[in-house]
Amino acid sequence: MIGRIKRGGGLLIILVLIALMTMIDPVMAADSQLVSRVNTTQKMMALTFDDGADGDSIPQVLQILKDHNVKSTFFVTGKAAEDHPTLIEDIFEAGHEIGNHSYSHPDFTKITASQIATELQKCDSLVVNITGKSTKPYFRPPFGYYNNDVLAAVGSAGYSKTIHWTVDTIDWRGDSVADITKRVMDKAGNGAIVLMHVGAGAVNTPSALPGIITNLKSQGYKLVTITELLAGSTGTTYVVKSGDTLSSIAQKYGVTIQAIATANNISNVNYIYVGQTLIIPTGSVSPTPDPAPVTTINYTVKSGDTLWAIAQKYNVTVQSITSLNNITNANYIYVGQVLKIPSSSSTPAPQPAPVPTPTTDTKYTVKAGDTLSAIAQKYGVTIQSIATANKISNVNYIYVGQVLVIPGTSTQPVPAPTTELKYTVKAGDTLWAISQKYGVTVQAIAVANKITNTNYIYVGQVLIIPQ
């Protein structure tokens, strides 16, 4: 009897331990960090090659890299490993790195976390069987598509770095040697990551590669693997918190919005997400102290208002209003919204007498080069009013041939300014700063210079300043 009790007690203890173990929360892996450029003061760049399926030009590319004494990182799919395992082995034996590019190259933003894990595991197993080495910790998303869920799932699978790119050569389209080379050289810079392909579609990549390597080396760049590039990082990083905007982060570190956007390959400066790790370009590795609290006044948005107009009215910058009110999209405010206006100028600047607005609508057909900003300026209305009238959810997207309703306008566009002067862009300039300097709006400068992305200007660019 006693023996039975002891045996029964032992079983009970085991069952209790199992139950307790199932109640313990698992340790969550960190999200994979997106890397599109490495912040470094060293003249280093990484040439990377994607092998999606056929790997037609791998032998040529390997020979060129050998001839020029360059080591690179290749991102291969499981399908490629199945199709040409000997070539995958050749890559590894030549001393190059191999990263994971999924098994079958699906859009990871459209599959589940479980499917992502399977895709990564199948590819990794095939590469390990060929080379004896895992593809971890480097992953490159098929098509370059990713989101928060993808980064979380990839991180959970053991891939701490999701490698994007600084330069997309678009060589898979069969573009010319000159075009491929120009794309690389135009964006060459410390810590840049170049994307190329070794498939049948990239017919001119082997011809362009020698010249690219020679040109980069002649400019003093050392061409390295992703591991070597990451090891040379000297910059600082910042993890985005709730309420952050690129404007506030740029102000905090004393750099420009464009500099952060370029360093992180951000195409839409109005979109960053909580938990995103940003590279802060070299030049200010310590954040500037937070400014002392300032007094503000309140302004209630009225029909027809834009942030640009309000900023002009109170002689402040758009950034100061967006930062103070936690606005992430400077193109979207709404009637009745109460905005805090920095008190540096509590009295509105004198405004010209308002022009009566006709109540009839007109229609406008979008032409090549048009933006909503330019069209709004042309007809003397706001971006928001056009977006609302046409049910446009993304004010950055319109297309040629689209017929837009222009609300509350006459059939004639507002006449363009008749006088102008010119300004040459200097280091650190932004369109906002230039517009403030000359007392005009950002849109006015953008329209006068046919600028479609108001966050991108470059040093030496000559701008027309409308008067």
* pLDDT class of 430 with cuts at 50, 70, 90: confident
Do domains 33-231 and 420-466 share one topology? The answer is no
Give the residue among 103, 162, 174 at the shortest CA–CA distance from 136: 162
Share of the chain above pLDDT 90, in %: 40
Q: What is the mean pLDDT of residues 268-287?
A: 67
Specify which residues 48 forms β-bridges with: 73, 195
Share of the chain above pLDDT 70, in %: 82
Provide DSSP, 438-451: HT--HHHHHHHTT-
The CATH homologous superfamily for domain 236-280 is: LysM domain (3.10.350.10)
The confidence score (pLDDT) of residue 223 equals 97
The single residue listed with the structure tokens 């995958």 is 88
- Tell me which fold the domain 420-466 belongs to: Membrane-bound Lytic Murein Transglycosylase D; Chain A (3.10.350)
Residue spans of the domains in the chain: they are 33-231, 236-280, 296-345, 362-406, 420-466
- Position 273 pLDDT exceeds 80: no
Give the active site residue among 84, 96, 164, 197: 197
- Position 165 pLDDT exceeds 90: yes
Taking CB atoms within 8 Å and a gap of at least 24, the contacts of 439-444 are 439/312, 440/465, 440/466, 440/467, 441/308, 441/309, 441/312, 441/377, 442/308, 442/318, 443/308, 443/373, 443/374, 443/376, 443/377, 444/377, 444/417
Q: What is the CATH number of domain 296-345?
A: 3.10.350.10
Annotated active-site residue 50? The verdict is yes
Q: What is the CATH number of domain 362-406?
A: 3.10.350.10
* pLDDT class of 447 with cuts at 50, 70, 90: confident
What are the pLDDT digits (tens) for 212-232?
999 999 999 999 999 999 988
What are the pLDDT digits (tens) for 179-194?
999 999 999 999 999 9
The confidence score (pLDDT) of residue 105 equals 96
Residue with the larger pLDDT of the pair 19 and 270: 270
The confidence score (pLDDT) of residue 283 equals 46
What are the pLDDT digits (tens) for 316-327?
777 778 777 878
Q: What is the mean pLDDT of residues 350-356?
A: 44
pTM above 0.75, yes or no: no
**Mean confidence (pLDDT) of the chain:** 81
Give the active site residue among 31, 50, 51, 56: 50
For the domain with range 33-231, which CATH number is right: 1.10.287.470, 3.30.1330.10, 3.10.50.40, 3.20.20.370?
A: 3.20.20.370
Establish whether the linkage from the previous residue to 293 is cis, with ω within 30° of 0. Answer: no
